[in-house]
Every structure is written in structure tokens, then in C-alpha cells.
Amino acid sequence: MKDLRTIFMGSPDFSIPTLQKLINTTNVLAVVTQPDRPAGRGRAPAASAVKVFAEENRIPILQPEKISSDAALESISLLEPDILVVTAYGQIIRKNLLNLPRYGCINVHASLLPRWRGASPIQAAILAGDTSTGVTIMLMDQGLDTGPILSQEAIPIPASATGGEMFTILSHAGADLLIPTLRDFTLGKIAPLPQDDKHSTYAPMLKKDDGRLDFTNTADRLSAQVRAYEPWPGSFFYYQNRRVVVRQAHSISETRLSPGIPFSVNQKPAISCSDGSLVLDEVQPSGKNRMPSDSFLHGAKDFFKANFNRSADS
């Protein structure tokens, strides 16, 4: 497939295994990625992971502010691509661009569509307690992850898996599935299969504050949240007006009084929930490194006097 003229569109680390596979097997004309955005404490402009990787591999880079603009369409049109491959790009792609390449645009998505359409399918699957997820290669249309399916592969979710761990597994699984799918699709060996909208679910874009732990939920739900949101957006509560991120936790059936009441379990801090309690195994107080929760208690003398119900001042 070295004569297949490909343009790749992606931004985060998740996209890189797919881009590497395309570089190895097709003629990658250019990479389209998000503009540099302010990041870190200094808020200096930072390049996307895909831009950095493309620079290292000497691939031309396009960074339109809006992919829907006439200027962006013209820049891509001049390259005369046979196909566009999209993996976690971060902008909606309009009809005029979808129809531009000979073979259209295909997308590598980290779920078994139509389950978990949207921006955070990996976190959504873990949070919902799904025992498996997967990757889907689909032909893009104007909807949000609604295009017909070209291929899929199911991947189990281990009981202890975090969002970050599944992120790595699915990024490589998607890249591996893409290449044979791309070959067969361009040879006319695959008939795209329409999705069944009746079975669709949606995974919205997550914000940092979505990770706040609400102890009026069940302990099992919060344990799943900690795994799903590790490492981003992270799950947290406030102690003495400072954010404490919970990096690892587990649920137990024991509880104490109302939701949000802290107590000790085997020298570890636990917080009661609506059903059961969440035991904190590893935490990261604001401005500090990750630490075992029993070490955290050494510097949190008033922890067991606090109330972590969100309606209370803790």
C-alpha cells in the first residue's frame, strides 16, 4: 500500500501507534493536528503529541484553527489524498472534507460502536462496569461516530484496569486493526455495515472538575470512577480546601453513618458512601507526589474530624 496517498489527522498520544503504522505501510503526505495550545503552569504554547512525532519523522504538518475553514480544505485538497485517517483529532469534520478523498475518511475509535460514541469512550466503559470494550474502524459521515463499520475487535477490560492502561492497550489494538482493514477496504473487499442507533450510548467530553468524588454515590461506583479517571481527569476530594487526588482505591461493604464520614480501615483512610465505603490506597495531595494513603495520614492529623459530603465544608 505504499502508493496509497494518506493524510493523517490526530492529536494526543493515543494517535501515535496508528500514525506509525501508516508511515510504515502507506505514503503519508501530511499530518493534520490541533494548533499549539497553552499548557503547564507557565501556560506556554505546547505542541500536540502527534505534531512532535511528525516533526521527528519529517512529515509535513498542518495546524488549522478550524478544519471546517475554506483555507484548511484548500490546503488538504492540494495534496490530492486518496484517503484521510482520523484518530482522536478533536474537531468535527464537515461534509466537504469527508467527500474530498477518493476513499473518503476512516476513523479509529476506542469502543465497540455504537456503544460509547463520543469523546471519552474508554473512561465511560470502565465507569459503567463494562467487562469488555474494543476498537472500531469506521467510514466517517457527518454524525458523531455514527458512520458505517468496516471492522471491529473486542478487548476485555481487566477488573483492575485503569483508563490509562486501557488507553495504551486500545491505541495499539486500533493501529493493528487499521492496516488490514485499510487494505481490504481500498480493494473493495469490505462492505460497510450501518450502525444500529437503537443500541447507541454516548460518552461526553470530560472536564477536570468531573473527577470530584461524590460520596452520596455507591462505593463500587466511586471505585470504578477512580480507575476510569486515572490518570485523567483524576478523581479527587477537598481536604482543608486543598485538592487530594485519589490514585488508587477499592470499595468495601462496611460503612459508617452518613455519606462522607471518614474512618480507618487497616490503618488506611476510608470514606463512607451511600452503600459501602471507599478505601483510599494511594493519594496525591495538591503540590505533592503520589504517596500511600497511610503516609498521607501522618500529615493530615485532622482527617478523621472532616466531613466529605459535598454539601459540607470540609
Tens of pLDDT, residue by residue over 221-245, are 999 999 999 999 999 999 999 999 9
Print the SS3 string covering 65-111: CCCCCHHHHHHHHCCCCCEEEEECCCCCCCHHHHCCCCCCEEEEECC
Q: How high is the pLDDT of residue 39?
A: 75
The pLDDT of 250-278, averaged and rounded, is: 93
Instruction: Tell me: cis bond preceding 156? Omega within 30 of 0 counts.
Output: no
Q: How high is the pLDDT of residue 97?
A: 95
Question: Around Cβ 29, how many Cβ atoms within 10 Å?
Answer: 17
Can 5-203 and 208-305 be said to share one CATH topology?
no
All three cell numbers of 256, joined, read 459508617
Q: How high is the pLDDT of residue 96?
A: 93
C-alpha to C-alpha distance for 178 and 153, rounded to whole angstroms: 11
Mean pLDDT is lowest, of 110-119, 198-207, 228-237, 304-313, for 304-313
Q: How high is the pLDDT of residue 311?
A: 59
Q: Are strands 37-39 and 44-46 parallel, antiparallel or unpaired?
A: antiparallel
Tell me if the domain spanning 5-203 has CATH number 3.40.50.170: yes
Q: Strand, coil or helix: what is 238?
A: strand
Mean pLDDT is lowest, of 57-66, 87-96, 123-132, 277-286, for 87-96
Query: Domain residue spans in the chain?
Result: 5-203, 208-305
Mean pLDDT is lowest, of 77-81, 82-86, 90-94, for 90-94
Q: Amino acid identity of 77? A: S
Q: How high is the pLDDT of residue 137?
A: 98
CATH superfamily of 208-305: Formyl transferase, C-terminal domain (3.10.25.10)
For residue 45, what pLDDT band results from cuts at 50, 70 and 90? Answer: confident
All three cell numbers of 125, joined, read 466503559
Q: Where does residue 177 rank: exposed (0-12), middle (13-18), buried (19+ CB within 10 A)?
A: buried
For residue 313, what pLDDT band results from cuts at 50, 70 and 90? Answer: very low
C-alpha to C-alpha distance for 271 and 181, rounded to whole angstroms: 48
pTM of the model: 0.94
Q: How many alpha carbons lie under 13 Å from residue 107 in its C-beta half-sphere?
A: 27
Percent of the chain at pLDDT > 90 equals 92
